[in-house]
Amino acid sequence: MRDTLTGDIQMAAIKRLITSWTAAAYTIAVIYGGFNVPSNFTDKTFTDGVNILTFLILMFGFFLLLTYVSSLKLGFSSDDLALVLFLGLYSLLLTVNSQSITTVIAVLIPISIAVFYIFYRDSRGLSFINLSPKAGFAAACALAVLLAVFIGAYTSCRYLSFGSPNYDFGIFCNMFASMARDFTQTVSSERDAIIQHFEVHFSPVYYLMLPFYFVFRSPVTLQILQALIVASGIVPLWLISRRRGLSPRASVILSAVYALYPAISGGCSYDLHENCFLTAFLLWLFWAAERKDRFGNILLFVFAVLTLSVKEDAAVYVAFAGIYIAVTDGHDSDLRNPCSENERRGWRGRVSGILTVPRINGVLLVLISVAWFGFTSWFLTKFGYGIMSSRYSNFIPEGGGLADLLRTVLTNPAIVFSESFGTEKLEFIAQMILPLACVPFVTKKPHRLLLLMPLLLINLMPDYQYQHSVFFQYVFGSSAFIFYGTVLNLSEMKPKLRRTLLLLSLSSSILFFGAFIMPKSEYIFRYFENRDKYIQLESYLDVIDDDASVTASTFILPHIADRREIYQLKNGSETEADTDYVVIDLRGVTEYSANEYIHAYENKGYNTIRCEYGTILILERII
């Protein structure tokens, strides 16, 4: 017993020593960095001016403080929490500075060791956090609000600082202006012609946003709506977690992971897209599948229809959800066949045992998805620009179609592995899976790997680079499946493993958020530091008549897209569009090049009405 006591004292001293060292290093880094993220944090010259004696005194002060706090008998291990806190803060500082996937993974090693050592063997570290269901739900909603504020702030400031291009935000600004006028998705800046957006993507879901745009007719409204829609996914995630038996505390931690998950905030990086609806709609669909009553069955198909309305390829997500529900047949759902074993005897009983409610629902979802995809593919091919099968050109021979994709995968599955797990895609996989501590893979039920199929098919197989990036909208649908699988796997773990993996997931998601998402806040600082300049730039655009046709540079176009006819300026000084005005972004353009623009357009019958070198050039056609 004496040896055990001595060992505990020694271990406590070692933990305090490590914590004190980390805390002192973090304090020095923050002070020398001017209470900001130091740019030369990893440089050998960063602490040239630090006196080693001062550092040791600071370290000793932290050691004494930790020893005093530990003596207060707070009911939980203050040493453990302090170790995780300061190790986490220092690691966050490092990852924010490096913005490197290799650094994040390297830092995760000591973080994982600390979390497993502390929380796997002892639950006292979280004993002071005891939430009621109402308090937990309120905390989850608060996290959703914070997430919406962050996304809304950085995307709005991106637009306000003239950082949003025509592709794709200018297109949607132009489209919503048309929807507000005559309820049609008419656009002119998408294909250099006046067309319906339905000819490019089948997305009736945008009409759900239209009432809000009617009231607040501004592109900023669209950015804020996207932020609210994406953040609202926390609500069904909370409900699924609680239905699956996770405690309010565990459900709040998982909600925090959602709020910090890089694909959720990062997917909004390039402004509004209809895909933003996918995460929330699919999580609501899974929640409906978890219900026992008839109302749940109705909601299942309501959210399936809403998901299908997002885009033509949304049918893939609904189909895989249907396949999963049909295959599991209630094993992962509370929807179970109510028939007793006696009622299942005989052929009628056996049939009723096969045709359970989950299987019927799942099969119907698959059939509806196939029918919807067939219809939208036919519509886009006959009346529009066709489906974008070219994104699978690494599977489809020249001149082929989706049938060739299926043939290639079935006859040569090796190509799936070679095309889906290249170096660039492995980094993407790390950004999608490591923030969840690999929990989607931690299961004894192989059928749950079906929930990873959308990630493989939509994000990993295509050679279209943007589909395997957490900074584009193509990650929203896959994220819903990944989070649902995470909840299912967590719900079946033993408490100490679930607690440990949840905290490791929270720690990991914080590091990934800091490394890859926090830099997006630069848009906020950039706007407010140069706010007067951007307001003045907006005022220059007021000289353009509201009903005039315009050709504009890509970053200017969204700001004047509320008109019937607007086109993006091509590279160089020529444009195919014959419009009333031409607006050219001169930021980053030399005075010599600006004068070349003026000369070229004057020869085409235009007159300069505003020229601010280094800022903007506005020309009007002479009637």
Per-position DSSP letters for 174-224, written without gaps between them: HHHHHHHHHS--EESTTTTS-EEGGGT---GGGGGTHHHHHHS-SHHHHHH
* Cβ pair 551, 568 in contact under 8 A: yes
Q: Is the pLDDT of residue 6 over 80?
A: no
Token pair of 37 as six digits: 């993220």
* Cβ pair 337, 353 in contact under 8 A: yes
Per-residue pLDDT of 549-582, as tens digits, reads 999 999 999 999 999 999 999 765 455 568 999 9
Nearest to 173 by CA among 37, 273, 48: 273
* Cβ pair 565, 176 in contact under 8 A: no
Output the pLDDT for position 585. 94
The length of the chain is: 623
How far is it, in rounded angstroms, from Cα 524 to Cα 187?
29
Output the pLDDT for position 388. 81
Min mean pLDDT across 18-32, 100-114, 124-138, 209-223 is at: 124-138
Q: Is the pLDDT of residue 288 over 90?
A: yes
* Cβ pair 512, 431 in contact under 8 A: yes
Burial 259-274 (b: 16+ CB within 10 A, else e): bbbbbbbbbbbbbbbb
Give the SS3 label for residue 380.
helix
- In 491-574, the DSSP E strands lie at 550-552, 566-568
Distance of CA 373 to the CA centre of its chain: 25
How far is it, in rounded angstroms, from Cα 13 to Cα 68?
12
Residue 521's pLDDT band (boundaries 50, 70, 90)?
very high
Residue 182's pLDDT band (boundaries 50, 70, 90)?
very high
How far is it, in rounded angstroms, from Cα 218 to Cα 225?
11
* Range 105-113 average pLDDT: 90
Q: What is the pTM of this model?
A: 0.91
Residue 338's pLDDT band (boundaries 50, 70, 90)?
very low
Per-residue pLDDT of 209-224, as tens digits, reads 999 999 999 999 999 9
Place of tokens 């300026």: 569
Output the pLDDT for position 333. 44
Nearest to 174 by CA among 196, 143, 204, 205: 196
Domain ranges of the chain: 2-128, 134-386+428-522, 531-621
Per-residue pLDDT of 427-440, as tens digits, reads 999 999 999 999 99
The correct CATH number of 531-621 out of 2.40.30, 3.30.110, 3.40.50, 3.30.160 is 3.30.110
Segment (H or E) for 616: strand 616-621
With helix as H, strand as E and coil as C, how does 135-188 read? HHHHHHHHHHHHHHHHHHHHHHHHHHCCCCCHHHHHHHHHHHHHHHHHCCCEEC
Place of tokens 């302090």: 82
Q: Is the pLDDT of residue 623 over 60?
A: yes
Output the pLDDT for position 294. 86
Per-residue pLDDT of 19-68, as tens digits, reads 898 888 888 888 776 556 666 667 777 767 677 888 898 989 988 988 88
* Listed ranges 13-22, 112-121, 264-273, 331-340; the one with the highest mean pLDDT: 264-273
